Amino acid sequence: RIRHYKWDVKYEYKSPDCYKKLAITINGGTPGPTILAQQGDTVIVEVKNSLMLENLAIHWHGIRQNGTPGMDGTEGVTQCPIVPGDTFKYEFKVDRAGTYLYHAHYGMQREAGLYGSIRVSLPDGKTEPFAYDYDRSIILNDWYHKSTYEQATGLSSIPFVWVGEPQSLLIQGRGKFDCSSTPSAPGVCNASNPECSPYVMTVIPGKTYRLRVASLTALSSLSFQIEGHNMTVVEADGHYVEPFVVKNLFIYSGETYSVLIKADQDPSRNYWMTTNVVGRLPNTTAGLAILNYYPNHPRRSPPTAPPAGPIWNDTAPRLAQSQAIKARQGFISTPPAIPDRVLVFLNTQNLVNGYIRWSINNVSFTLPHTPYLVALKYNLRHVFNQSPPPIGQDLQNYDIYSVAKNKNASLSDGIYRLQFNTTVDIILQNANTMTTNNSETHPWHLHGHDFWVLGHGIGKFDINNDPKKYNLVNPIMKNTVPIHPYGWTALRFKADNPGVWLFHCHIESHFHMGMGVVFEEGIEKVGNLPSSIMGCGETKGFGRP
Ligand SMILES: O=C1O[C@H]([C@@H](O)CO)C(O)=C1O
């Protein structure tokens, strides 16, 4: 089956948290429409860029794009941007049931509101290995009042201007900024604007709900909680999880989970659904939505105060959740026993010519003007640095608990070229930032693949002993995974998807500041590329008959 969508993308004044600002909408809304498809379907999305002054690209997060690497929607990597006025046709297969996302992948545009859900159902006749009565989706987000331009400019300036903590937290596109906290021109902040009334999820007492929870925050790591209700985690990034019960679900930007909730509490009232910032000193009030027990009035506030979030700087329960996520019995895909190649990626905050940047092995990433996919396919060698970035870092002699002795790093748009079909291990090693006694959380997202999560730990990775503790029995597969403060995360994937794929920190400002790498594999197996992805940089004239 073909699922055909036509989207018009533009700027509109919106007040998702009661504060009026320009947001990017799809067909008038943020979040945009949910894409509903069945495993094996072809999704076609015709995107018209009506932003007037700004380029655009849309990434289909978690969709592997096997055979369609030019449809990944990553500006600078797989395509030229869609220029204002143009319509771009994305066409790809959804080959696996599960919960996925889409969002802008041009500059820091995602945080202006261009995002939504993709829900892929099982083929006819197949059923999920867990029972539920109803299926619901929500996206969690954080929200800034400054434009992406102001933020990106501050991050790229001397002196550096940090984006700071978000002004509010949104649940399914709705939040509540305290209008009395800042003097604003009349009409800018209006607490009774219906656009910022809380999201309401209505449940029927006694029924079980599958709630698909996703995070697309620009910065924040979140704890999600439903007052008085436990959640059973059953899916992560499109893979079945060996069920486990949580009170708080920790969720990082780019991740999706399905949780089962039973509406088994006192049915005479409503309950709070909350999000709280964790991992950074919070300066944002909790995100609130209402779990409405039918037939109570959906706008009736719960009679209790919203539950407090967990302690923001307690890493232990977050590490514990990361380690608890295992593949479900009966749905285990076992990784190859040994890797062909191991890449150690030391994550550091650095200076490049006085600018604050993030680096992997002391190299801070920049995007070339000509997309890699086209450059590699047509052998345009001069458009990006042909020397690969460092393949490892001597961790032995690096103190991850201190500010680096030499803070300087360099910029490069060089890439890692992987041999097709080989097994690659990546060790993400966290470290101290340029601030004493500070290490941050980074959610890493890989395009074009799912990887096995072999292990998480705190401290310096021990190349001789930690691999012996890898979970090779029932590791979960994911496309996004956090590294915790001062911690490490080990992943394994097969380089079996011909194309060029970004692997990056999903925090908007961190990727803008260079926190990413690019992998190429099997470029010789990539078929003809659509001319629609070309037209910029050195690709002008390519793809024309
Ligand atoms: O990239 C970042 O920069 C700031 C800070 O480290 C420098 O001001 C911060 O908290 C980040 O996550």
Q: Is 126 exposed, middle or buried (0-12, 13-18, 19+ CB in 10 A)?
A: exposed
Output the CA–CA distances (angstroms, integers) from residue 76 to 148, 249, 459, in the order listed: 18, 34, 34
Region of residue 222 (left: phi > 0; alpha: psi -120 to 50; beta: else)? beta
* Residue 201 φ then ψ, to 5°: -110, 115
Nearest ligand 1 atom to alpha carbon 438: 6
Residue located nearest, by CA, to atom 3 of ligand 1: 162
Task: Determine the pLDDT at residue 396.
Answer: 86
Nearest ligand 1 atom to alpha carbon 358: 1
The tokens for 174 are 């709705």
Contact 361, 346 (CB under 8 A): yes
The tokens for 389 are 């970035």
Contact 231, 287 (CB under 8 A): no
In the Cβ-directed half-sphere of 461, how many Cα atoms lie within 13 Å? 30
Nearest ligand 1 atom to alpha carbon 280: 10
Task: Determine the pLDDT at residue 447.
Answer: 99
Q: Rounded to an integer, what distance in angstroms lies between the CA atom of residue 209 and that of residue 201?
A: 10
Neighbours of 329 (CB within 10 A): 11
Question: Using the 8-state DSSP alphabet, how is residue 505 labeled?
Answer: E
Distance 113 CA to ligand 1 centre (A): 22
Distance 318 CA to ligand 1 centre (A): 21
Neighbours of 87 (CB within 10 A): 14
3-state secondary structure string across 21-63: EEEEEECCECCCCCEEEECCCEEEEEEEECCCCCCECEEEECC
Distance 22 CA to ligand 1 centre (A): 25
Task: Determine the pLDDT at residue 50.
Answer: 98
User: Using DSSP, how many helices (H) and how many strands (E) does the chain show?
Assistant: 4, 32
Which residues 6+ apart lie within 8 Å of 524 measured at CB? 498
Cis peptide before 81 (omega within 30 of 0): no
Task: Determine the pLDDT at residue 394.
Answer: 79
* Residue 102 φ then ψ, to 5°: -135, 155
Task: Determine the pLDDT at residue 542.
Answer: 74
Contact 18, 190 (CB under 8 A): yes
Nearest ligand 1 atom to alpha carbon 509: 1
pTM above 0.95, yes or no: yes
DSSP per-residue string spanning 216-263: --SS-EEEEEETTB-EEEEEETTEEEEEEEESEEEE-TT-EEEEEEE-
Residues in the chain: 545
Contact 221, 441 (CB under 8 A): yes
Q: Does residue 308 sit in helix, strand or coil? A: coil
Distance 162 CA to ligand 1 centre (A): 6
Single-letter amino acid, residue 393: Q
Distance 48 CA to ligand 1 centre (A): 35
Contact 95, 40 (CB under 8 A): yes
Task: Determine the pLDDT at residue 544.
Answer: 59
Residue located nearest, by CA, to atom 5 of ligand 1: 162
Question: Using the 8-state DSSP alphabet, how is residue 79 labeled?
Answer: B
Q: Rounded to an integer, what distance in angstroms lies between the CA atom of residue 535 and that of residue 480?
A: 31
- Taking Cα atoms as reference points, which of 420, 383, 350 lies closest to residue 536? 383
CB of 162 sitting under 6 A from ligand 1: yes
Sheet holding 98-104, edge to edge: 35-38, 115-121, 98-104, 58-61
Distance 362 CA to ligand 1 centre (A): 17
Which residues 6+ apart lie within 8 Å of 82 measured at CB? 47, 49, 55, 56, 57, 88
Residue located nearest, by CA, to atom 8 of ligand 1: 162
Q: Rounded to an integer, what distance in angstroms lies between the CA atom of residue 106 and that of residue 115?
A: 12
Task: Determine the pLDDT at residue 111.
Answer: 97
Task: Give, for all 545 residues of the chain, the pLDDT tens digit.
Answer: 999 999 999 999 999 999 999 999 999 999 999 999 999 999 999 999 999 999 999 999 999 999 999 999 999 999 999 999 999 999 999 999 999 999 999 999 999 999 999 999 999 999 999 999 999 999 999 999 999 999 999 999 999 999 999 999 999 999 999 998 877 777 899 999 999 999 999 999 999 999 999 999 999 999 999 999 999 999 999 999 999 999 999 999 999 999 999 999 999 999 999 999 999 999 999 999 999 999 999 999 999 999 999 999 999 999 999 999 999 999 999 999 999 999 999 999 999 999 999 999 999 999 999 999 999 999 999 999 999 999 877 788 999 999 999 999 999 999 999 999 999 999 999 999 999 999 999 999 999 999 999 999 999 999 999 999 999 999 999 999 999 999 999 999 999 999 999 999 999 999 999 999 999 999 999 999 999 999 999 998 776 55
The tokens for 186 are 């009349």
Q: Does residue 204 sit in helix, strand or coil? A: coil
- Taking Cα atoms as reference points, which of 54, 215, 55 lies closest to residue 143? 215
Sheet holding 248-251, edge to edge: 200-203, 287-293, 271-278, 221-226, 248-251
Residue located nearest, by CA, to atom 9 of ligand 1: 162
